[in-house]
Structure 1
Amino acid sequence: MHLDVGNALASVAKPGVTEAALERLDARVALAHERIEQGRTAHEHGYEALNLPQRTDAAEIRDAVSSLTDAEAVLTVGIGGSALGAATISTALGIENAYVLDNVDPEHTSAVLDNLPLDKTAVNVVSRSGTTVETLATFLIVRDAMETAGVDWASRTLVTTGDEGPLRELANAYDLPTLKVPDGVPGRFSALSAVGLVPAAIMGGDIEGVLEGGRDAMESLSGSLFDSPAYAYGAIAYALDLRGARINAMVPYAEALEPFAEWFAQLWAESLGKDGMGQTPVRALGATDQHSQLQLYRAGPNDKLVTLVRPRDREDREIPETDAEELAYLSGNSLGDLLDAEFRATEASLAAANQPNVRIELDRVDAEGIGNLLYQMEAACVLAGELYGVETFTQPAVEWGKRAARGLLGGGDFEEAQAVADKEPYWIQ
């Protein structure tokens, strides 16, 4: 990963960070790096995520999915970190027919199932606890659909879960192939494990390359933000947040990276949004959202960091010549040229309006590239968490909602459910 922070410096942006402030912040980064390395070495909860590129066994994953590699489609049933990493990796690798059910919207669930060749679909069910209500409810529907279609669901299903719980019991009862959610790794940090790699492995994707990219990124971490793009990004985002850039707009300029922006949003929000702190991540897509959100980013409040992401190398397509005089300037150009011009124009436009922005470049959107990018962003997030002083690897606010929903469904007696029931509506209609 290559990082350009020039447009986030105080000489360009308001808010911005002075070079002197970066030098002072670097001392804190060094201390944070020591803590991160200590956590990794001791395999502490959360910090263990940064060991995944070395710890994950691609051969074990290949062996577990071997009975499913005849599939024409793969359907991942999970939610949040149990699905977003898989979607990000599969899309970046150009894998077609990889679907995700990560929302309990009944119409969408039915539409996906109605359009899948269920007898040729591999089902990948992911839940660490095996009790995630959305995942279990959706899987029951998927299983019922397969049975109704006369498909032996057990022969088409793989489970990725923890050592205990309903999914583990189900896998044991039906002798399903299983993989383990790694210990000590929160779901949103688990992309570089079986949690994120199974769909790609089933469809023949280069999961070894993804892990190699992660290992390369791991070796780039150092005790200085000036030598580590991951730490530099985490430190710059943190510093700008304190100076008023409370929103972080993640804007990839590649369709294959659109799921990455969604993955990043969960990582950044769930990890850092604590104790009244944390940047709010938003998602956009270049060049599409130049025609919508850019108006706000450039002319709205100076409360945003815009993160622009692009590959340095990509496949291209020439723009055909035309007799239309007003389009003559397109002659000899390609869609890649146009997208590059849009990218640089957006970057310059933001800088001209003093809106802080940074540029992230990866060599290309491929296995190594996406593995590297995911790891770098995870390391950036962990570093930012150290600087904020928050519990990066917990999500207590999410757990409140889970308990409330379960109580409303009759799954137990939870005071959070009572708080929902006590709400007094004030309708205007």
Structure 2
Amino acid sequence: MTDLTVDLGNALAAEARPGVSEGALDRLDDRVARAHETITAGMAADGFGYASLGLPERTDPGAIEAAVADLDADHVLTVGIGGSALGAATVSAALGLADRHHTLDNVDPVETRRLLDALPLDRTTVNVVSRSGTTAETLANFLVVREAMDEAGVDWTERTVVTTGAEGPLRTAATEQGLPALSVPEGVPGRFSALSAVGLVPAAVLGGDIEGVVRGGAAGREALLAGGSLFDYPGYAYGAVAYALEQRGATVTAMLPYAESLEPFAEWFAQLWAESLGKDGLGQTPARALGATDQHSQLQLYRGGRHDKLVTLVRPRERADMAVPATDVEGMSYLGDATLGELLDAEFEATEASLAAADQPNIRVELPRVDGPGIGRLLYEMEAACVLAGELLGVETFAQPAVEWGKRAARGLLGGGEFPEAEAVAEKTTRVVGGE
């Protein structure tokens, strides 16, 4: 089996509570077909948001590689936040580049100083990403990085690439300083932009297989256009069942990959699902976990807690492996006939069975391997799942009004303009316990 697959068996009503009956799936598929018509029409018209699902056809890996060809580097430091950073981290990790790709996606001064002190700045490319070019956290970190490079005697203009919109401070800086600059795709919210320059520049600088990533996304797009049913297309199967389970009380969705190189994917998924679907009192709350590590922490809740969760277990079918050395020590000798990969697979299947035995709904997602095509396909299908879930919920999938409210409030507090949202900070109700 070479394609991505979604196994819904443990989310059926016969196995889980809440669960979805086969009859309900049949009825839901009629709605999926109508949503598919809306989605494909939006794709054809390059409509806002729907254009995201056309990125594999619009993204030119060769052009990205050419733009960064002169940025010889051992490390990449991405300065961005949210969708301007999580997709790139996911791609880099899947391509085995996590130890060379670093991210400043917060404004914690302690962590910023630690990272800048640890990096060889003369061998680091700075990758600055912001659609608007006005994101306060990104601009502040960029100014801090520039100063650190100046103090280290490094010409930051020779080591910086910018990905931004057609206008704004970052576009102006790139033009004035002659920096290599790429464009964020039009009509694509940041959290849906991983299969564009937004997500691919760091891997391109470090020599990763970005062509394979785009090819994997293209395979997902072809499957979507050839499908139209939750019984044909894995992305729709996932999105439809996640929607159906939410309607039945599963208001938490836990993403549990069984590969360390997919841990950033769980973070990317959390933003995608939360920011896209959390509107009008709807949307599942995402949780992030890592197999097998979090079997020793979060699994107790997922198995023994409320029946308000959908757990998604993700694994590659193929991976590099390592043998466990033989030993005669009692209680350990049985491990000597196994490999670490076999142990991880056993942990995966045991967790899946444990959840099913407790009637907790779970879905299995498998990809061929964690590589360029594999991560490209996984990202695309989860984006399609999210878009479908948004259509079924009837929410504005591609908007993020709560995020914009917070941005305006913060900017007003910092003196970046007059924003009424900033006044809400002074109106906070306090009832302090402790202190002097």
Q: Distance in 2 between matches of 1:73 and 1:350?
A: 41
Which amino acid letter does the alignment assign opposite residue 157 of structure 2?
A
Does 2:318 align with 1:304? no
Does 2:199 align with 1:196? yes
CA shift for structure 1 position 220: 1.1
Name the counterpart of 1:343: 348
SS at match of 1:364: coil
Which amino acid letter does the alignment assign opposite residue 161 of structure 2?
L
Name the counterpart of 1:84: 86
Q: Distance in 1 between matches of 2:429 and 2:273?
A: 33
Name the counterpart of 2:399: 394
Q: Distance in 1 between matches of 2:172 and 2:346?
A: 54
Unmatched segments (≥5 aa) in structure 2: none
Does 2:128 align with 1:128? no
Does 2:14 align with 1:11? yes
Name the counterpart of 1:334: 339
Q: Distance in 1 between matches of 2:358 and 2:331?
A: 29
What are the Cα deviations for residues 60-100 of structure 1, in whole angstroms up to 9, with x where unaligned?
101110110x2011000000000000000000000131101
Q: Distance in 2 between matches of 1:280 and 1:220?
A: 28
Unmatched segments (≥5 aa) in structure 1: none
What are the Cα deviations for residues 112-139 of structure 1, in whole angstroms up to 9, with x where unaligned?
0000110110000000000000000000
Of residues 368, 372, 387 in structure 1, which corresponds to 2:377?
372
Between stretches 410-419 and 6-15, larger displacement belongs to 410-419
CA shift for structure 1 position 211: 0.4
Name the counterpart of 1:22: 25
Q: Percent of aligned pairs with the same residue?
A: 70
Q: Distance in 2 between matches of 1:82 and 1:424?
A: 34
SS at match of 1:320: coil
CA shift for structure 1 position 424: 3.2
Q: Distance in 1 between matches of 2:398 and 2:415?
A: 29
Of residues 59, 68, 93 in structure 1, which corresponds to 2:62?
59
- Taking the TM superposition and a 5 Å limit, the aligned residue runs for 1:26-175 are 26-68=29-71, 70-95=72-97, 96-175=99-178
**Number of aligned residues:** 428
Which amino acid letter does the alignment assign opposite residue 238 of structure 2?
Y
Name the counterpart of 2:184: 181
CA shift for structure 1 position 328: 1.6
Name the counterpart of 1:265: 270
Name the counterpart of 1:251: 256
CA shift for structure 1 position 422: 1.7
Which amino acid letter does the alignment assign opposite residue 339 of structure 1?
L
Q: Distance in 2 between matches of 1:426 and 1:331?
A: 58
Q: Distance in 1 between matches of 2:432 and 2:179?
A: 49
CA shift for structure 1 position 59: 1.1
Q: Distance in 1 between matches of 2:228 and 2:173?
A: 46
Give TM-score scaled by structure 1 length.
Answer: 0.99
Which amino acid letter does the alignment assign opposite residue 131 of structure 2?
R
Q: Distance in 2 between matches of 1:243 and 1:232?
A: 17
Q: Distance in 2 between matches of 1:342 and 1:281?
A: 22
Does 2:293 align with 1:291? no
Which amino acid letter does the alignment assign opposite residue 293 of structure 2?
T
SS at match of 1:66: coil
Name the counterpart of 1:410: 415
Q: Distance in 2 between matches of 1:330 and 1:194?
A: 44
Structure 1 runs (4+) greater than 3 angstroms displaced: none
Q: Distance in 2 between matches of 1:348 and 1:267?
A: 28
Name the counterpart of 1:358: 363
Which amino acid letter does the alignment assign opposite residue 393 of structure 1?
F
Q: Distance in 1 between matches of 2:273 and 2:318?
A: 27
Q: Distance in 1 between matches of 2:428 and 2:353?
A: 48
Q: Distance in 2 between matches of 1:422 and 1:7?
A: 47
SS at match of 2:291: coil
Q: Distance in 1 between matches of 2:46 and 2:221?
A: 15
Which amino acid letter does the alignment assign opposite residue 121 of structure 2?
L
Which amino acid letter does the alignment assign opposite residue 303 of structure 2?
R
What are the Cα deviations for residues 366-410 of structure 1, in whole angstroms up to 9, with x where unaligned?
000000000000000000000000000000011111111111111
Name the counterpart of 1:213: 216
Which amino acid letter does the alignment assign opposite residue 75 of structure 2?
A
Q: Distance in 2 between matches of 1:204 and 1:211?
A: 15
Q: Distance in 2 between matches of 1:258 and 1:34?
A: 33
SS at match of 1:45: coil
Q: Distance in 1 between matches of 2:25 and 2:125?
A: 49
Q: Distance in 2 between matches of 1:324 and 1:220?
A: 51
Q: Distance in 1 between matches of 2:209 and 2:124?
A: 20
CA shift for structure 1 position 326: 1.1
SS at match of 1:143: helix
SS at match of 1:131: coil
SS at match of 1:75: strand
Q: Distance in 2 between matches of 1:326 and 1:163?
A: 63
